[in-house]
Each structure stands twice: as C-alpha cells, then as structure tokens.
Amino acid sequence: MTEDKPTEPAFDRDRLLDWMAANGVAQTTHDHPAVFRVEEGLELKAAMPGAHTKNLFLKDRKGRLWLISARQDTVIDLKRAPKAIGSDKLSFGSEALLYETLGVRGGSVTALGLINDPDQRVTFVLDKALWDANIVNFHPLTNTATTALAQADFRRFLTLIGREPMVVDFSRLGD
C-alpha cells in the first residue's frame, strides 16, 4: 500500500538563494523567528528598509489559481478584486494546493515561490505599490527569514523565471 506523498518542490530556501546568486539576482536575507501574519513581524520589519509584503494564495470558482502580492498595509478587498484581475469569485487555496504549486506552507506564501511553478499554474498579481517600490521584501520560501531585493533584481528574478506580473493598483479599487 503506497501513500500519496507530495513531491518535494524543486526549490527550498537554500536552493533559491543559491540560484539567485548564480543568476546575478542580488539580495540580502535576514533570519528571524517564524512570522505567520503581517502583524506579527512589524517590529522585525521596522529595522529592514523597503516595502514589506503580504501574499494571498487564492483559487476562483473556475479552479484558476492566483497569487496576490501586495504591500503589507494594502487592503485587498476579495469582493472587488475579481473584477480587477479578471477572475471569478475568490477564496483561499488549500494548503495542499499551495505546497503542490509554490512549494511553500501556509505562513510562508511568497512571490519567490513562483520559482516552483514552472508550468505557470498560478497567475501572479502584483500590487502597484510593490511594482513602484525601490526595495521589496519577501519570505525566501520560509517564514523564518526575509529576503530584500532592489526592484531591478526583483524584476530580473521574474524575467528569469518567465513571469510577467499583472500589476493592479489595489489602493484605487475602493474608488
């Protein structure tokens, strides 16, 4: 009797950081205690420059998968977001689907997880506030560290993995 065991993701924190170094994506990674929600890491983040993020792994009624990465203080209205991104009604994706597609567990959702989605099953939506930030901070596939990237290096990362984000100004959805 064999048990269905999820396949290991191609990248974990160490392999991701090695890949970035090998591909000329400059970054600085800070280790810290595990952070599961934006509010928990505010003191840690205060000492790190740049825009800090919140990341939502979502699924719509048609089964499409979405990753929304936004600045930590951006309000993401899940009732208004579908119209802005061209999806059906959104709900949170399961832990199993998150691990299968992005190679991370809940609490560690990150745009850097897109490196584990070579089939591009997940549509990447980026808050305009992050697209315009000089420095962006994401978990490096684990919530026990934060990786800071200059915008040029973040865009290089996206180009190298073949991703073009859908940039949405979430601050204007309430208008």
Position 2 confidence tier, pLDDT thresholds 50, 70, 90: very low
Q: Check: CB of residue 153 under 8 Å from CB of residue 25.
A: yes
pLDDT over 80 at 6, yes or no: no
In angstroms, the CA 73 to CA 70 distance is 8
In angstroms, the CA 121 to CA 3 distance is 25
152, two tokens: 């040029």
What is the chain's length? 175
Write the pLDDT tens digit of every residue in 66-101. Answer: 999 999 889 899 899 999 999 999 999 999 999 999
User: 115 CB contacts (<8 Å, ≥6 apart)?
Assistant: 10, 11, 16, 19, 157, 161
Give the burial class of 110: count Cβ atoms within 10 A of its Cβ; 0-12 exposed, 13-18 middle, 19 or more buried.
buried
In angstroms, the CA 63 to CA 131 distance is 27
Q: For residues 42 and 78, which has the higher predicted lDDT (pLDDT)?
A: 78
